[in-house]
Amino acid sequence: MNWAIATLNLAVMLMPAVAAVAAPPGGAAKGDTPLESMQIEIWPEYDRPAALVILRGELAGDVGLPAAVSLRIPASSGGPAAVAYATAKKGPLLNLKHDRSDAADFITLRFTVPARFFHLEFYDRLATGTGERTYKYLWPGDLSVSWLEVVVQEPAGASNISVKPALVESAAGSDGMRYRSAQLGPVKQGKSLPIEIRYAKTDPRTSAEILKLNAHAPDPQASAPPAKGDPSSLLLASGAAAVLAAALGGAYLYWWRRRPRARAGFTADGRFCSQCGKQVAAGDRFCAKCGAALV
């Protein structure tokens, strides 16, 4: 009898480990690292015939550092274009090492954040062979979020644009493009959020090509980025269109300063940052000294 009880106790103790081994590699992490805010930005056909998705996360204030984060992105993306962190809301982005595991529908990224702010971006497939175009992104609900915001950049030359859930605020940015946004409030862990964008477009050129956004770099001392997680970051008040436009313009310039300009992140020999001259390692996405984006 004692042998049977001991065997049963051992089996109960091993059940969590067996379940962890049996879990599919693309599954969401069981542990939750809560977020104070998450901003999901989707830029269809911005500089590629694809959808650029940007995830800007801020850890909750009571999360101990460094913090482990596990987050899924669509398998159709092929993987992240950048994983980075910042030590302050307006600080430079720094490369962040990550591990990945691939499954049929998702790629799971695991990384340890030494600060409260992380930045993740990827390009997802978007069919552009017809005039009627659709892109769907699913926030998988891997983390609980106290304040979720969605921003969609309207493709240049597009018409009949619709977004679900409805993004009721629309304003022009300083880049000449229009942005739709909405504050969706808290989202619990395990609750997914589908975002669907539909529009008509026959011009095969990207927004950057149509508006010649690569013609010159904006002044790096231009307006500051909006505060992440702050409900007034992009949506200050209903009807405050002028203030909203300025905030969106700041958000655009904040991102633009961190994207490669004319594909010139490296010098010709590929070993030094062209912005500050610091030597960089192979595979770095951002300069560790100045935060400039690297090709």
Write down the pLDDT at residue 218. 34
* DSSP string over 108-176: EEEEEESSSEEEEEEEEE---SSSEEEEEEEE---S-EEEEEEEEEPPTT-EEEEEES---EEEE-TTS
Q: Are 268 and 189 contained in the same domain?
A: no
pLDDT in tens, 182-237: 999 999 999 999 999 999 999 999 999 999 986 333 333 322 333 333 333 333 23
Is residue 246 pLDDT above 60, yes or no? no
Is 289 or 187 the better-scoring residue by pLDDT?
187
- Across the range 270-279, mean pLDDT stands at 67
- Residue span of the structural domain in which 274 resides: 262-295
Is residue 294 pLDDT above 90, yes or no? no
Write down the pLDDT at residue 43. 97
Write down the pLDDT at residue 41. 97
Q: Are 45 and 166 contained in the same domain?
A: yes
Is residue 263 pLDDT above 50, yes or no? no
Is residue 261 pLDDT above 70, yes or no? no
The reply to whether 47 falls in a domain is: yes
- Across the range 57-61, mean pLDDT stands at 97
Write down the pLDDT at residue 243. 39
The reply to whether 8 falls in a domain is: no
Percent over 70 (pLDDT), the chain: 67
* Residues 6 or more apart in contact with residue 270 via CB below 8 angstroms: none
Is 183 or 253 the better-scoring residue by pLDDT?
183
Q: Are 113 and 43 contained in the same domain?
A: yes
Q: Are 188 and 139 contained in the same domain?
A: yes
Write down the pLDDT at residue 222. 29
Q: Are 77 and 154 contained in the same domain?
A: yes
Q: Are 185 and 276 contained in the same domain?
A: no
Q: Which of 143-182 are b and which e, b meaning 16 or more Cβ less than 10 Å from the residue's Cβ?
A: bbbbbbbbbbbbbbbbeebebeeebebbbebbbebbbbbb
Q: Are 291 and 162 contained in the same domain?
A: no
* Residues 6 or more apart in contact with residue 63 via CB below 8 angstroms: 33, 34, 116
Q: Taking all residues of the chain, what is their mean pLDDT, rounded to a whole number? A: 77
The reply to whether 20 falls in a domain is: no
Q: Are 268 and 175 contained in the same domain?
A: no
Q: Are 185 and 86 contained in the same domain?
A: yes
Q: Are 148 and 283 contained in the same domain?
A: no
Write down the pLDDT at residue 31. 59
- Across the range 150-162, mean pLDDT stands at 97
Rounded to two decimals, the pTM is 0.68
Write down the pLDDT at residue 266. 36
- Across the range 1-9, mean pLDDT stands at 47
Write down the pLDDT at residue 252. 45
The reply to whether 67 falls in a domain is: yes
Rounded Cα gap, residues 127 and 125, in angstroms: 7
Q: Are 278 and 162 contained in the same domain?
A: no
Q: Is the dihedral of CA 266, 272, 276, 281 positive or negative?
A: positive
The reply to whether 15 falls in a domain is: no
pLDDT band, residue 90 (cuts 50/70/90): confident
Is residue 148 pLDDT above 90, yes or no? yes
Is residue 161 pLDDT above 60, yes or no? yes
Domain count of the fold of the chain:
2
Q: Are 54 and 149 contained in the same domain?
A: yes
Rounded Cα gap, residues 182 and 113, in angstroms: 27
The reply to whether 90 falls in a domain is: yes
The reply to whether 237 falls in a domain is: yes
| CATH value at residue 171 | 2.60.40
Q: Which helix (H) or strand (E) holds 8?
A: helix 2-22
Reading across the β-sheet that carries 132-139, which strands appear in turn?
Answer: 132-139, 193-200, 159-164
Residues in the chain: 295
pLDDT in tens, 101-130: 999 999 999 999 999 999 999 999 999 999
The reply to whether 290 falls in a domain is: yes
